[in-house]
Amino acid sequence: MTTAEKLGKTATLYRLDAQIGYVLRRATQRHLAIFAEQIPELTPPQFAVLARLQELGPLSQNRLGRETAMDAATVKGVVDRLLSRGLVLAKADPQDRRRLILDLSVEGRALFDMLARSALAITAETLSPLAPEERRQLLRLLEKIA
């Protein structure tokens, strides 16, 4: 007799704690708390935008969304908040009148440079319960399912 039958049901045995979605959500929660403590002035998506612009230079809003894994509606909100704080600048693309070209402002670049070390420390602290080899493993496995 199976455990499910003992419980008087034919339903599949379902343990929430063993589901990847639930564990991903809790790991993300802890990471977000560490991020907010170390870098209270920006959210992770905002920081990702600054990082990509610093790395790749001026980009269209659409391309920026692809490079930061945000859909068009989401990236618009994130970019609008950075624009209103003067951390990012927008200009029209003369070659393509649909496009909005975005780039870091001087202040945005300075802020990114200032916070980059903290951002690395956030990853380190999030992964601190793991041994060095485990940290590499986790990043590798997450990358495979992403």
Partner DNA sequence: TTAGCTTTGTTTGCGTACAAACAGATTGCC
Partner DNA sequence: GGCAATCTGTTTGTACGCAAACAAAGCTAA
Binding interface with a second copy (CB under 8 A): 9-12, 14, 16, 18-32, 35, 44, 48, 51-52, 54-55, 68-69, 112-113, 116-117, 119-120, 122-123, 126-127, 129-130, 134, 137-139, 141-146
Using an 8 Å Cβ cutoff, are 88 and 79 in contact?
A: yes
Of 6-14, 70-78, 109-117, 118-126, the window that binds DNA (rule: CB under 7 A) is 70-78
Q: What is the spatial distance between Cα 120 and Cα 133, in angstroms, rounded to a whole number? A: 18
Q: What is the spatial distance between Cα 84 and Cα 118, in angstroms, rounded to a whole number? A: 24
Residues 6+ apart with CB under 8 A from 92: 99, 100, 101
In the complex, which residues of this chain contact DNA (CB under 7 A)?
A: 25, 29, 32-33, 36, 43-46, 60-63, 69-74, 76-78, 81, 93, 95-101
